[in-house]
Amino acid sequence: MLTPGDYDVPPGMVASVVTHLEMRTAAAPRPVPAPEGVSLRRIHAPAPDWYRDLFTRVGGQDWLWFSRLGLDDAALSKILCDPKVELYALEKQGHAEGLLELDFRDKGACELAFFGVTPVLIGSGAGRFMMNAAIEKAWAHPIARFHLHTCTLDHPGALAFYRRSGFTPLRQQIEIAPDPRLSGNLPRAAGPHIPIFEG
């Protein structure tokens, strides 16, 4: 058990506060028109490189998303091609600019595994449009719980956005992981708001 105080993060690592949230009944949608030229499309069995590109543009360049970037093609495809995982791309004029991933592998539950838009769509209402679709698609299945986690390496407005969307915070954790900019999974310029400590 941790006692109150300050703890050093080892060189080569990054630390974040992870907040887990859940929704036990479908929240009412927050009406928003679809941004002009934007549509949501289900992607079946995406190519790993296509997925990594979208994943990085949504969360890797600015917010240090890295969990999927260390997986090889076989491990990544095993997740993305699982029939209980639904992947959607939010497309603007035919180009993927948003990621919605729903994971139904845990019986009776759906995890909002990844969710976000690229800088091209931030501030356009696209996130709220995509969240309305996420809630509708999740609760179209026989689930009792829709859940997710976010962290302080994500967009600074993410936690508030999820709460406005109807998710309730459950618990928090401190996560310490290898800095993906030092492993080569992300460029050194990624996540410029998080300093690199090489030791």
> In which band, very low, low, confident or very high, does the pLDDT at 35 lie, cut at 50, 70 and 90?
confident
How much is the pLDDT for 110? 98
The percent of residues above 90 in pLDDT, for the chain, comes to: 87
Q: Which two tokens stand for residue 132?
A: 């309305």
User: Which homologous superfamily is 13-28+37-183 in?
Assistant: Gcn5-related N-acetyltransferase (GNAT) (3.40.630.30)
> Mean pLDDT score of the chain, rounded to an integer?
95
The percent of residues above 70 in pLDDT, for the chain, comes to: 99
Give CA–CA dist 40/158, Å, rounded: 20
Q: Is the pLDDT of residue 135 over 90?
A: yes
Give CA–CA dist 156/128, Å, rounded: 16
Q: Is the pLDDT of residue 157 over 80?
A: yes
Write down the domain spans for the chain.
13-28+37-183
pLDDT in tens, 72-88: 999 999 999 999 999 99
128: left (phi over 0), alpha (psi -120 to 50) or beta: alpha
How much is the pLDDT for 3? 85
Give CA–CA dist 99/23, Å, rounded: 20
pTM of the model: 0.94
How much is the pLDDT for 167? 98
Give CA–CA dist 103/109, Å, rounded: 8
Give CA–CA dist 51/58, Å, rounded: 11
How much is the pLDDT for 106? 97
Q: Which two tokens stand for residue 134?
A: 């996420």
Instruction: Name the residue among 11, 63, 25, 65 with its Cα closest to residue 185.
Output: 65
Q: Tell me how far apart the terminal alpha carbons of the chain are, to the nearest angstrom.
A: 27
pLDDT in tens, 3-18: 888 889 999 999 999 9
pLDDT in tens, 48-75: 999 999 999 999 989 999 999 999 999 9
How much is the pLDDT for 7? 87
Q: Which two tokens stand for residue 135?
A: 């809630």
pLDDT in tens, 86-97: 999 999 999 999
In sequence order, what DSSP letters do the residues of the chain get, joined into one string? -PPSS--PPPTTEEEEEEEEEEESSPPPP---PPPTTEEEEE--S--HHHHHHHHIIIIIHHH---TTTTS-HHHHHHHHT-TTEEEEEEEETTEEEEEEEEE--STTEEEEEEEEE-TTTTTTTHHHHHHHHHHHHHHTSS-SEEEEEEETTS-TTHHHHHHHTT-EEEEEEEEEEE-HHHHTSS-TTSSTTS-----
Q: Is the pLDDT of residue 1 over 90?
A: no
